[in-house]
A and B are shown apart, each in its own frame.
Chain A
Amino acid sequence: MRIVVCAKQVVDLAQIRMNRETREPILSGIPLIIGDIEKNVLEEATRIKEQHKAEVIALSIGWPQPDGTILECLGRGADRAVMLADPIFETLSSTGVATVLAKAIEKIGDYALILLGEGSTDNNSGQVGPMVAQILGLPLVSYARQLEIVEDKVRIVKGLEDCFETAEASLPVVVTVSAEINEPRIPTILDVMEASSKPQESWSLGDIEISREELEQHHSVKVLSNQYPEQTRKNILFQEELGKSVDSLLQNLVKEGVLER
């Protein structure tokens, strides 16, 4: 059984700072890392591999080259990896990302299970999984909190706002997973060492037979602005003797009228 894991590379959100004049995020020089939800996706793929005979292939597209993310995937249990890097990916909308992923998945071929995150760490749009399923004409099960392979089917517990649903679909299938599905292991030193000797391939747009013109169609969502919201908080930090700090806090809250006496 072949499992394809789609993993997105994101900027390290904890390191972004604001440009005080424009209120825009300063993104240059911020390291690129694997997304949070991707760790759950890889953990789940690895868990399946431990129970069934399976090969896990990691797939990441991005710009700059998502090689760090690919290495992380290999350290977290993927057997081999494919990446595509191209400047055009930087501003691609979800339909475009899904188109490229679907083409690459087709080229990988012979897949039984395609795993994605329910929402990426930076965009959290939740669009790419359903779009990949639509393009490949495969069934889609989203928001998986439990996943089990039973013969040629997946059985999944989906977490929705008001209920949990147990759903079943025949392989091949596209599944998006929630963070609640597992607790990702931390790779050991050995895992990390082995990762760099696992097979990696770097494909170009030509390799997946997709033209630049076709991809240009997918610059369909145009960003007008991306700014930190106006912040008018006082940012007063009390660090005196604790009793005094607590009193100061309460006095201020009463003064503002947010606490009824």
Chain B
Amino acid sequence: MPGVLVFSEKDEFALDLLPKSAALAKQLEMELNVAILGPAAKSRATQYFARGASKAYISENELFTEFDAKVQSQALFEIAEVSQAEIMLLVSTKRGKEIASSLAQMLGAGCITNALDIKVEDSKLVASRYGLGGTTIVSEYIETPKKVIAVIPQTFETIEVKSSDGQVIDVDLKLDKPEVKVIERKERKRESVDIEKTDVLICVGLGLKQKEDLGLIQELANAVGGEIGCSRDLASSLGWLSEDRIVGMSGKRCKPKVVFSIGISGQSQHVAGIVGAKTIAAINNDKNAPIFRVADYGILADLYEAVPLLTKRLHNMLKS
């Protein structure tokens, strides 16, 4: 039976994707299978069965101890063959995108990465993703017999799991040694903030003149009990805040009750991270800043005047 094959280099992401994949496989009358690579693959399979997988194609080959995109895509290529997979559903992490692209090339398959959603329409598998740098939503489908789609992590609702059985198939893979050698790995310093969960998000951008002025933003955040997020450049080029706080297409997608956008122009790649907010309030001193076109409320002002005043009023308001 033709199948849907789900894989991620991280179990948790593959598991998140499984319930949705199961629903799609059912609609397409296909079997839902998974690939699990690396140490303890066999024992990891139970969690996959609990979320709807029929068969787990596993390999504990020692080449998987270190991640190598080419080795993994080669493995998936072989598993796609033995499992009769027509649709490969992967997770659009940075590594996942490397795997998806290499695999698609090997399979001669069309490929969609950064999918925001997938659904079956007229018996076609239709995926949506951002187009034109986050400005638009593109809806598209793949025409080749085999299809590779990588979905943004944690896109779908998780469901309750029920234990269930499946078949473990240990595949003997013919793999080439990796060509790229990893010499060192440094874990990123993780901040304990979780800007995706906060109700009030204060987003700050390049309207800020110097790092020291972050104090103003912090005082506002304290006054409303919010978390600070930022535009990409403030973190990645200037390094004033950690990259965990970047909001947008290449950062976090947030759904707070309210976001205060401060000194941010509102370019599409950033806005993609706040469209899920219930209310958007923006402070900018440029009347033509695009952020005003996507905001509910805007204040046309210098942030250095507006933010302290806002903080003061909030203090009074929340005290009374």
Interface, chain A (partner B; CB < 8 A)? 11, 13-14, 16, 24-25, 93-95, 98, 119, 121-131, 133-135, 139-143, 155, 160-170, 179-180, 183, 217, 219-229, 231, 233-239, 242-243, 245-250, 252-254, 256-261
In whole angstroms, what is the CA distance A182 to B285 when docked?
A: 29
Size of interface on B: residues with Cβ below 8 Å to A: 84
In whole angstroms, what is the CA distance A167 to B131 when docked?
A: 32
CB distance from A124 to the nearest CB of B (A): 7
In whole angstroms, what is the CA distance A238 to B300 when docked?
A: 6
Report B-chain residues with C-beta under 8 Å of the C-beta of A135: 105
CB distance from A21 to the nearest CB of B (A): 15
With A163-B188, A164-B186 given, is the CB distance from A238 to B299 under 8 Å? yes
With A124-B130, A162-B187, A246-B306 given, is the CB distance from A25 to B140 under 8 Å? no
Interchain Cβ contacts within 8 Å, total number = 246
A-B contact list, 27 entries, CB within 8 Å: A13-B267, A94-B111, A95-B104, A121-B133, A124-B250, A127-B100, A127-B104, A127-B111, A130-B69, A141-B180, A142-B69, A163-B186, A164-B185, A165-B185, A166-B185, A167-B182, A220-B142, A221-B142, A222-B140, A225-B137, A228-B136, A229-B137, A231-B294, A237-B292, A242-B299, A246-B313, A247-B313
- Once the chains bind, are A242 and B318 in contact (CB under 8 Å)? no
- Once the chains bind, are A163 and B104 in contact (CB under 8 Å)? no
CB distance from A179 to the nearest CB of B (A): 7
Residues of B252-308 at the interface with A, using a CB-CB cut-off of 8 Å, are 257-258, 267-268, 275, 278-281, 287, 292-301, 305-306
Given A221-B141, A249-B281, 6 more contacts at CB 8 Å? A13-B132, A125-B97, A128-B101, A142-B98, A224-B141, A247-B313
Please list the 10 inter-chain residue pairs (A to B) with the smallest Cβ-Cβ separation, ordered nearest first: A220-B110, A130-B101, A139-B179, A258-B257, A258-B258, A134-B105, A166-B184, A127-B101, A234-B296, A237-B298
Interface, chain B (partner A; CB < 8 A)? 69-70, 73, 93-95, 97-98, 100-102, 104-106, 108-114, 126, 129-133, 135-144, 179-188, 190, 199-200, 224, 232, 236-237, 249-250, 257-258, 267-268, 275, 278-281, 287, 292-301, 305-306, 309-310, 313-314, 317-318
